[in-house]
Amino acid sequence: MLSVTLAGLRAYVVRFLLTGTVIVLSIGFTAGTLVLTDSLDRAGRAEITASAAGTDLAAVPPDDGADYLPVSLLDRISALDGVEAAAGHRVVHARLVGGQGRVPDRSPVRVLATPRDAELAALPLTDGRAPAAAGEIVLDTRTAERQRVGVGDAYTVTGADGRQMEFSVVGLAEPSVNARDHPEVRATGGDVQRLAARPGIERVDLRLEAGAAPADVTAAVRELGGDPGHVVLTGAELRERLVESSTSVAKELRIPLLMLGAVALIVAAFVVANTFRILVAQRTRELALLRTVGATRRQVLSGVLVESTAVGAVASLVGVAVGVLAAIPVGAVVSDDARDVPTIVSTATVLWSVAVGVAVTVGSALLPARAATRVAPLAAVRSVPDGADGQRAGRVRIAAGLVAIAAGSAVMAAGALTAGMYGLGVVVLGAAVCFLGVLVLGPRVVPPMVRSLGRLLAGRSGSRRATTRLATANAVRNPRRAAATSAALLIGVTMVAGFVTVAESTRASAGMVLDQQVPADFLVRSDAETGVPASAVRAVDALPETGPSVRLYDGTVTAGGVGTVDLLGIDLDRFEAIARVNGEGSVDDVAAGAVAIDRVTAERSGLGVGDDVTVEADSGTRTFDVGYVVDEGSVPFEGLAVTPDVFQELLPSVDRPARVGFDTASDVDTERARAAVVEAVNGLPGVSVTTYTDTREQLSEQLDQTLLVVLSILGLAVVIAVIGIANTMSLSVHERAREIGLLRALGQTQRQTRAMLSIEALLLSGVAALLGAVIGVSFAWAAVLSVEDLVFVVPWAQVAGCGVVAGALGLLASVVPGRRAARTAPVVALATE
Amino acid sequence: MLVGMTTQTSTDAASPRWDAPRTAVRAVGLSKVYGSGDTAVHALDTVDIAFEAERFTAIMGPSGSGKSTLMHCLAGLDAVTDGQVLLGDTDLTGLGDTALTRTRRDRLGFVFQSFNLLPTLDAEANMLLPLKLAGRQADQEWFDEVVDVLDLRARLSHRPAELSGGQQQRVAVGRALLNRPDVVFADEPTGNLDTRVGSEVLSFLRMSVRELGRTVVMVTHDPSAAAYADRVVLLADGRLAGEITEPTADTVIDGLRQLGA
């Protein structure tokens, strides 16, 4: 039996290549993801372990205690017997101050305390030396290159309190695994404490003297006690803990990549199952012949089993190889080329990939083979395979499909109406069930759609009509095959349309939220908590390019019947002009000394327009009228709002506004105004300028990047689906050879034959594209509804574009089968079997 | 050894209707070689033959005699190695694929042994297929006449799977006649039919010659089928081996027996 199987395998090698390609692509993606994340993980793990390689014991805060240990603990541990060296670890976030005192970059600088002990520090120096004294730092090589800073240059950052510290770069080191994209500065422990908002150390590493007993030292460190106390870990425990808590790229990528890989795999399963169904249908006679000469059903089935296992295993192994090869360059890009990423191909990766690949292939092959062996051998020998399928979709199938769609839609509706974090998850679940229903109903839904589309394409008369009608009839002659072929593409198009719609809705919603939150064209804000200095306000106010300004003060007070609330100081004469507001009451009253209160706080405390409210602040207690209840305003606030003058009286200590908004003067170009504002605040420390357009662009860019990654992965699923269409087409050209020969004999030109195949592919891909676009947008609608503050926007052009691309790819898929069909000699039709 | 090499006299004797027999299709020095070198097989060896218009001619011969190859070459379904095939004044051997295809579509009709019809189209659409491929409308009167002659009126909306073998062949005959072809080629049209249904189809073919004025060239191995023809051409080893006019089953069997001798 094995020799027959192997012979069959050789004969069908070309057709198995198509199946194989699909498996290679999807398994390649899965294996590549596993290899990539394993490799990045290993690289990160190795580096983290190396960073604490010299640590024998470590003291860390207790799990339920405070974040930090007291700085004094370090000295007390250092003084213990048996301790060779001890080092305190601490990371604080600061902001970089650029050359002219402006903060050029909003991304925070990580400042790390560097142990004095070289072994505990394990500093991956590439140039210079470790920081030895206050004011000395080591900068990471990536930042050094980006910002063109070298050993000997100055580097200035501002800490939590807005104080600037100028450092001198004494060395360069590799960025740490947790650096992500932030600049990383390694300073002395003392300097790090000076930059910190709250003093303290995150952990103390210590190295034992030669001959000291770890147990004794552990006990001694424990005994130091104090408040809040600490936990002592061994070096190995510490390294394990560090690895687990690291926020490496690998960890974040793994799950989303594997999820998208699963989509590719599902599409592949559809394509493979369809291919095998066709292959087995075409081989029904061959299998039946085997049966008539004495092969048992079991033998025939095991033959198919061996065959599909062979195809699945070989294709999966090739897929793993492709995945590994693809992971190497991707790994280098993701890790920023800063360090060498070893390529880790674990046994688990290979086993999982091959197991999934073989399971998908064998599962897809066995079902149609079982059906084929049920046919009486002689009937099967006499049958002529022409691709028709007498089987109609059963009532059970229709009922199951409708129930799934109804249940899925209900779940989606429930999810869409549920505000809160579970809404989106419920919608996704409902969408999955609903989509399953569509797939189950496919054989009933796809053929009528193909026929309608075919009628649309056929036109009034002429030879094109004849060609289109032939193509339409061919496309739907086997409803299950038509449905399965378009299903693969349907999944891809649905996902793409859905993602694009959600992304555009997010973009549009973010734009609207920004419109509300940024009350002016520009916002000048302080990067420290000290507020915007008066000089900055004056400088910008004086510009001819800017219009009126609005000052925003932030503070906290205690109000009678309300409790501790935020107090917003805002120029109320500008309230309506810039800070569009809706509500009840009179803005004029607030401008004259009353308070405004937001609707939520008002209802919670039972306050309304005209009521009295007592406000207790640093300067004493005063009673105000409630002049206005704000339903909705451009400046969202929770609590009370007063004029800046009243604010100053209540909280004289907060003498600087946190933000100052400016409008562009009329008749001035926004770009020019922006340049002028930036120029005016240049040189003012800790002041940054945000423009409305900046923020929107940043957000847009992030969205575009995410979308690009997601779409390129989904693109793979679409490519697999298109290969599936090409697969189905070439198999059906093969089984319809006599029919095509007949058409050619009766006068179908080669061009018409190619056109017939193209239209057939176009109909299948077109239906998938149309249905996918509609379903994708509907799912996106439910998803958008479930997320508060999102408005639903359909990017018609993009959705249409995605449909057109899918249709065009379908056409492309028909090129090779079409050429083969056109080459069919008319004589083939006359061959008697 | 050769029987009835009397083309001239047989034409005169055939029927008084034909004063000046017109040639519908003609092969001149036609050769067809499969393979090359030592393995070359001469399926047809410089065959010269003419088929008169408005007559029913059968091509006969033992298996491997080249009768099917001859028909394929005459019908422009297969490329020739040497020689010419003239359909009226058109040299088919000089045409490219598209022109050849159009010629088949517009000037020839076909009835094959089996698999004549597209399973996805109903009987009417199958009959109209060559016209539709050309983007032309059927002549309704002619269509009605053909349908009535073939007794297919009640079957027009049936798919091939819903038709009997004889009905399928009648649909094929109807399709072959609808575009008023210069020649109808039939390749073992009764090969898959029982005797009664087969003779019915043959009667239709003869009727299409006698009453509808068509030209039919039929390949068959069945002497009783050949007896429906006006003339039988015998082929052996790729060469013309004689002919029989006004054949009966007996004269044909005789002729074949002598070929084998």
* B250, pLDDT greater than 50: yes
* Average pLDDT of the segment spanning A240-255: 69
The pLDDT value given to residue A518: 53
The pLDDT value given to residue A661: 79
How many CB atoms within 10 Å of residue A682?
Answer: 15
Q: Distance (Å, rounded) from C-alpha A479 to C-alpha A388?
A: 9
Does B185 contact A at CB distance below 8 Å?
no
Identify the domain containing residue B57 by its residue range. Answer: 7-13+22-113+185-260
Least confident stretch, A93-97, B198-202, B207-211, B235-239: A93-97
* A80, pLDDT greater than 90: no
Q: Distance (Å, rounded) from C-alpha A771 to C-alpha A768?
A: 5
- Residue B236, in any domain of the structure: yes
Does the beta-carbon distance from B129 to A466 stay under 8 Å? yes
Confidence of residue B48 (pLDDT cuts 50, 70, 90): very high
Highest mean pLDDT, choosing among A264-268, A416-420, A465-469, A558-562? A465-469
DSSP character for B220?
-
* A229, pLDDT greater than 80: no
* A343, pLDDT greater than 90: no
- Residue B50, in any domain of the structure: yes
CB A738 within 8 A of CB A828: yes
* Average pLDDT of the segment spanning A802-824: 88
Confidence of residue A479 (pLDDT cuts 50, 70, 90): confident
Q: How far is CA A349 from CA A309, A356, A394, A440, A490, in A?
A: 19, 11, 41, 32, 29
- Residue B252, in any domain of the structure: yes
Which structure tokens are listed for A382?
Answer: 């006499």
Highest mean pLDDT, choosing among A529-533, A596-600, B247-251? B247-251
Does the beta-carbon distance from B102 to A474 stay under 8 Å? no
Strands (E), A371-526: 522-526
- Residue B109, in any domain of the structure: yes
Q: Nearest to residue A80, comparing CAs of A190, A204, A208, A202?
A: A208
CB A590 within 8 A of CB A668: no
Q: Distance (Å, rounded) from C-alpha A349 to C-alpha A688?
A: 48
Highest mean pLDDT, choosing among A331-340, A585-594, A689-698, B190-199? B190-199
A15 sits in which H/E element = helix A13-51
Block residue for tokens 């086993």: A351
Distance from CA of A822 to the nearest CA of B (A): 11
Block residue for tokens 């992500």: A180
How many CB atoms within 10 Å of residue B190?
Answer: 26
- Residue B157, in any domain of the structure: no
Q: Which pLDDT tens digit goes with each residue over A637-683?
A: 678 888 888 888 888 877 788 778 777 777 777 677 777 777 777 76
* Torsional class of B115: left (φ above 0), alpha (ψ -120 to 50), beta (otherwise): left
Q: Distance (Å, rounded) from C-alpha B135 to C-alpha A808?
A: 26
What is the domain partition of chain A in residue ranges? 1-51+257-383, 52-249, 447-522+690-833, 529-685
Confidence of residue A407 (pLDDT cuts 50, 70, 90): very high
* B112, pLDDT greater than 90: no
CB A116 within 8 A of CB A129: no
Least confident stretch, A525-539, A553-567, A721-735, A764-778: A525-539
Q: Distance (Å, rounded) from C-alpha A205 to C-alpha A759?
A: 71
Highest mean pLDDT, choosing among A369-383, A389-403, A690-704, B52-66? B52-66
Does the beta-carbon distance from A746 to B120 stay under 8 Å? no
- A563: β partners: A559
Q: Which residues of B touch A751 (CB under 8 A)?
A: 98
Block residue for tokens 């399965």: A484
Q: Distance (Å, rounded) from C-alpha A596 to C-alpha A594?
A: 7
The pLDDT value given to residue B20: 53
Mean pLDDT of chain B: 84
Structurally, chain B folds into a number of domains equal to 1
pLDDT greater at residue A629 or residue A181: A629
Highest mean pLDDT, choosing among A378-382, A404-408, B31-35, B187-191? A404-408
Mean pLDDT of chain A: 78
Does the beta-carbon distance from A749 to B72 stay under 8 Å? no
The pLDDT value given to residue A344: 76
The pLDDT value given to residue A459: 75
Q: How many CA atoms lie within 13 A of A299 on its CB side?
A: 15
Q: Distance (Å, rounded) from C-alpha A455 to C-alpha A465?
A: 9
Confidence of residue A579 (pLDDT cuts 50, 70, 90): very low
Q: Nearest to residue B112, comparing CAs of B191, B42, B205?
A: B191
Q: Cβ contacts of residue A42 below 8 Å, gap of 6+?
A: A342, A344
CB A536 within 8 A of CB A660: yes
How much of chain A, in percent, has pLDDT values that exceed 90? 6
The domain that contains B227 carries what CATH number? 3.40.50.300
Distance from CA of B257 to the nearest CA of A (A): 26
**Closest-approach residue (CA) in chain B for A467:** B133
CB A735 within 8 A of CB A282: yes
DSSP, residue by residue, B125-169: HHHHHHHHHTT----HHHHHHHHHHTT-GGGTT--GGGS-HHHHH
CB A723 within 8 A of CB A730: no
The pLDDT value given to residue B65: 86
Least confident stretch, A71-85, A493-507, A759-773, B121-135: A71-85
* A286, pLDDT greater than 90: no
Which structure tokens are listed for A199?
Answer: 């003093």
How many CB atoms within 10 Å of residue A382?
Answer: 11
* Average pLDDT of the segment spanning A479-489: 85
- Residue B161, in any domain of the structure: no
Q: Which residues of A touch B105 (CB under 8 A)?
A: 746-748
Q: Distance (Å, rounded) from C-alpha B205 to C-alpha B190?
A: 11
Q: Distance (Å, rounded) from C-alpha A786 to C-alpha A425?
A: 9
- A88: β partners: A204
Confidence of residue A528 (pLDDT cuts 50, 70, 90): low
How many CB atoms within 10 Å of residue A4?
Answer: 14
Q: Distance (Å, rounded) from C-alpha A443 to C-alpha A392?
A: 8
Disruptive mutation site among A759, A823, A832, A833 for chain B (greatest number of B CBs within 10 Å): A832
**For residue A445, which amino acid is it?**
V
Confidence of residue B217 (pLDDT cuts 50, 70, 90): very high
Give the total residue count for chain A: 833
Which structure tokens are listed for A165?
Answer: 């510290």
Name the interface residues of A facing B (CB cutoff 8 Å).
Answer: 384, 386, 388, 461-467, 469-470, 473-474, 477, 738-739, 742-752, 825-827, 829-830, 832
* Average pLDDT of the segment spanning A101-115: 65
**CB nearest to A742's CB, from B118, B132, B137:** B118
> Kind of pairing, strands B82-87 and A581-585?
unpaired
- B216: β partners: B56, B184
Q: Which residues of A touch B104 (CB under 8 A)?
A: 745-747, 826
The pLDDT value given to residue A223: 78
Q: Distance (Å, rounded) from C-alpha A663 to C-alpha A655?
A: 23
Confidence of residue A101 (pLDDT cuts 50, 70, 90): very low
- B52: β partners: B23
Q: Which residues of A touch B110 (CB under 8 A)?
A: 745-746
* Average pLDDT of the segment spanning A151-174: 81
Does the beta-carbon distance from A388 to B121 stay under 8 Å? no
The pLDDT value given to residue B123: 92
**For residue A573, which amino acid is it?**
D
Distance from CA of B230 to the nearest CA of A (A): 25
- A641: β partners: A568, A596
Which structure tokens are listed for A14?
Answer: 């070309």
* Average pLDDT of the segment spanning A320-342: 70
Least confident stretch, A9-23, B10-24, B209-223: B10-24
CB B95 within 8 A of CB B169: no
Q: Cβ contacts of residue A701 below 8 Å, gap of 6+?
A: none
* Average pLDDT of the segment spanning B69-81: 88
Q: Which residues 112-151 in chain B show a CB within 8 A of chain A?
A: 112-116, 118-121, 125, 129-130, 132-135, 137
CB A704 within 8 A of CB A795: no
* Average pLDDT of the segment spanning A45-51: 77
Q: Distance (Å, rounded) from C-alpha B69 to C-alpha B79?
A: 10
Distance from CA of B188 to the nearest CA of A (A): 10
Q: Distance (Å, rounded) from C-alpha B243 to C-alpha B11?
A: 12
Q: Please list the alpha-helical segments (H only) found in A586-691.
A: 587-591, 599-605, 644-650, 670-681
Q: Distance (Å, rounded) from C-alpha B160 to C-alpha A239?
A: 77
* A555, pLDDT greater than 70: yes
**Closest-approach residue (CA) in chain A for B131:** A463
